[in-house]
Structure formats: structure tokens, C-alpha cells
């Protein structure tokens, strides 16, 4: 018995690693000014493209330097800020818009349903990254434009889920009762429908978070995201691509950061969907 117990707790705590990893990355983003060893934008033209572990004048560049001699580790930590804040904002905004549209369509039915859900179909039939690219090309790059574009591109996904869920919840007795007692549309939606559909919406939101991180990095990679010199993982990768033969570390680390961030979000989303799926 004594032999078994510790192994069990190790296994249980191991199951939490995606959450721990995600929390660590979020902390890195929030406390970037404290954690980053150097100014992420400080250039050192004498120390360009140095290997990880390079030391100069008492400063260690743990992950090496980029083509302008900036510290990769510091840029990585600051880059987490962009990835996470863009993803969080766009998930929130697209979630709010999408859920509102989906609930209205599923609850009001009739003309509203046809109109709104046709709109959803139209948005979903343009491959998301192409829609994002054309919109960003029109609006111009930049932090808030990327958030707006991602919101515009992704709200239909939530609308679909919220719509389907509302259809099934809307027929339940407590909804009919509230209607009969004169509950207004916003009240019924807010008090009775939303709490009952929020589970599946959250699952989508977690999975979408990972996707948003990838989209933001993809746009930055193409030069359409947050503009230099602001550190962003996608843009770092795009520089790193030009140095694959000479400086492997430039592209490797930001990509690893992206991979771990998205992986932890996806693992959490997967587990959430298992739990919520079982609960019903």
C-alpha cells in the first residue's frame, strides 16, 4: 500500500501539466518586464547571431541573439504577451458576438433564424485564413486590427454551437414557463438559456484559443500582424526562416513557445470536452 500511494499522486499531478504549462506561459506574459533579463528591443550589433549561452560583458544570452543582436529569451518572453493577449481578446469578442447571434437565431426562429444562420454559412464558406488575410490587407496591420479581423473571422464558429444548443434548451419547460410569465427576450436568454449552453461554448473557446494563437502567429509570419520592432513569435519565426542554415536558434525557440502554448490549450480543451460530454 505504501508503495502504491506516492505513484498515484505523481500520476495525478502529472495530469495537470497542461494547466501548469499554460499558467507558466501566462505568468511569463504578465510579468515580462520583471522576468526578461534584457530589454527585448536593445540591439547589439557586435553580438549578432550569437549561439545560445553566449556571454558578453557579464551578460549571458541564454537563448542566443538574433540578426540585430537582440536577446532571444527576452524577446520570447515579451512575445508571449502579444500571442496571449491577441488570442484572449479575440476569443472573448468573437465568443460574445457569436453566442449572441446564435442564441437569437435559435430562440427567435423564423426570419431571424434564416437570416442569421445564412450569414454564418457565408462567413464559414470563406477559408478563415484567407478571410483574415484579405481583411487585414484592407485595414492594415497592427494589434487591434488583428483582434478585429480574428473576431470577424471566427464568430460564426460560436454562433453555430450556441444556435444548436439553444434549439434544444429552448424547448425545455422552464423556458416556456418564463415566456408565459412575460419574461423579455434578453431576460430569457440571459437567465435561462445562457447558463445552460455555456459548457459546450467554453469547450469551443478553449480549442479556439489555440487556433487564435496560431492565426496571430501566421499573420505575423506573413508580415500582416503586429509590426516590428515589437516582439512577436510569428515575426521571429519569419526572420528565423532566413537564417536556418546559420542560426538555428532564432526559429526554433519561438516555434517551440507557440507549440507548447497551443498544445496546452488543446489538451485542456480536449479534457474539458470529455468531462462536459460525460456530464450530459
| Residue number with CB closer to another protein (99 or 217) | 217
**Given candidates 42, 172, 187, 241, which one binds another protein under the rule CB under 8 A?**
241
Determine which residue in the list 164, 222, 273, 276 makes contact with another protein, applying CB under 8 A.
222
Instruction: Give the interface segment with another protein, choosing from 32-40, 47-55, 168-176, 222-230 (CB under 8 A).
Output: 222-230
**Who's near 273: CB < 8 A, 6+ residues apart?**
203, 207
Of 78 and 253, the one with the shorter C-beta distance to another protein is 253
From 104-112, 165-173, 174-182, 255-263, give the range in contact with another protein by CB under 8 A: 255-263
Pick one of 29, 82, 189, 251: the residue that binds another protein (CB under 8 A).
251
Of residues 21 through 80, those in contact with another protein by CB under 8 A are none
Work out which of 4, 10, 14, 245 binds another protein, going by CB under 8 A. Answer: 245
Choose one: 50-58, 94-102, 129-137, 154-162; the region binding another protein (CB under 8 A).
Answer: 129-137
Name which of 55 and 274 has its Cβ closer to another protein. 274
Q: Rounded to the nearest 10 degrees, what angle do helices 194-221 and 248-279 cross at?
A: 170
25 neighbors 258 (Cβ within 8 angstroms): no
The reply on whether position 20 binds another protein by CB under 8 A is no
Of 175-214, which residues contact another protein (CB under 8 A)? 210, 214
Report the interface residues with another protein, using CB under 8 A.
118-119, 121-123, 125-131, 133-135, 137-139, 210, 214, 217-218, 221-224, 234, 237-238, 240-241, 244-245, 248, 251-252, 254-256, 258-259, 262-263, 265-267, 270
Amino acid at each position: 500500500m505504501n508503495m502504491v500511494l506516492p505513484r498515484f499522486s505523481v500520476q495525478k499531478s502529472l495530469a495537470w501539466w497542461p494547466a501548469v504549462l499554460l499558467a507558466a506561459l501566462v505568468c511569463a506574459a504578465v510579468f515580462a518586464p520583471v522576468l526578461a533579463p534584457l530589454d527585448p528591443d536593445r540591439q547589439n550589433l557586435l553580438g549578432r547571431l550569437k549561439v545560445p549561452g553566449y556571454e558578453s560583458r557579464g551578460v549571458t544570452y541564454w537563448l542566443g541573439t538574433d540578426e540585430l543582436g537582440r536577446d532571444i529569451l527576452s524577446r520570447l518572453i515579451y512575445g508571449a504577451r502579444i500571442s496571449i493577449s491577441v488570442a484572449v481578446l479575440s476569443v472573448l469578442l468573437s465568443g460574445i458576438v457569436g453566442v449572441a447571434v446564435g442564441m437569437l437565431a435559435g430562440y427567435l426562429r423564423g426570419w431571424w433564424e434564416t437570416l442569421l444562420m445564412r450569414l454564418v454559412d457565408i462567413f464559414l464558406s470563406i477559408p478563415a485564413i484567407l478571410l483574415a488575410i484579405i481583411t487585414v490587407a484592407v485595414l492594415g496591420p497592427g494589434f487591434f486590427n488583428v483582434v478585429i479581423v480574428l473576431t470577424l473571422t471566427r464568430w460564426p464558429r460560436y454562433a453555430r454551437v450556441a444556435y444548436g444548443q439553444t434549439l434544444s434548451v429552448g424547448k425545455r419547460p422552464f423556458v416556456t414557463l418564463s415566456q408565459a410569465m412575460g419574461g423579455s427576450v434578453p431576460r430569457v436568454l440571459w437567465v435561462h438559456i445562457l447558463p445552460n449552453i455555456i459548457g459546450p461554448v467554453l469547450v469551443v473557446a478553449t480549442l479556439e484559443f489555440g487556433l487564435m494563437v496560431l492565426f496571430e502567429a501566421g499573420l505575423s509570419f506573413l508580415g500582416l500582424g503586429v509590426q516590428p520592432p515589437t516582439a512577436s513569435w510569428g515575426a521571429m519565426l519569419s526572420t528565423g526562416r532566413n537564417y536556418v542554415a546559420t542560426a538555428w536558434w532564432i526559429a526554433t525557440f519561438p516555434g517551440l513557445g507557440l507549440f507548447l502554448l497551443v498544445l496546452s490549450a488543446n489538451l485542456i480543451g480536449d479534457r474539458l470536452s470529455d468531462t462536459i460530454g460525460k456530464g450530459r
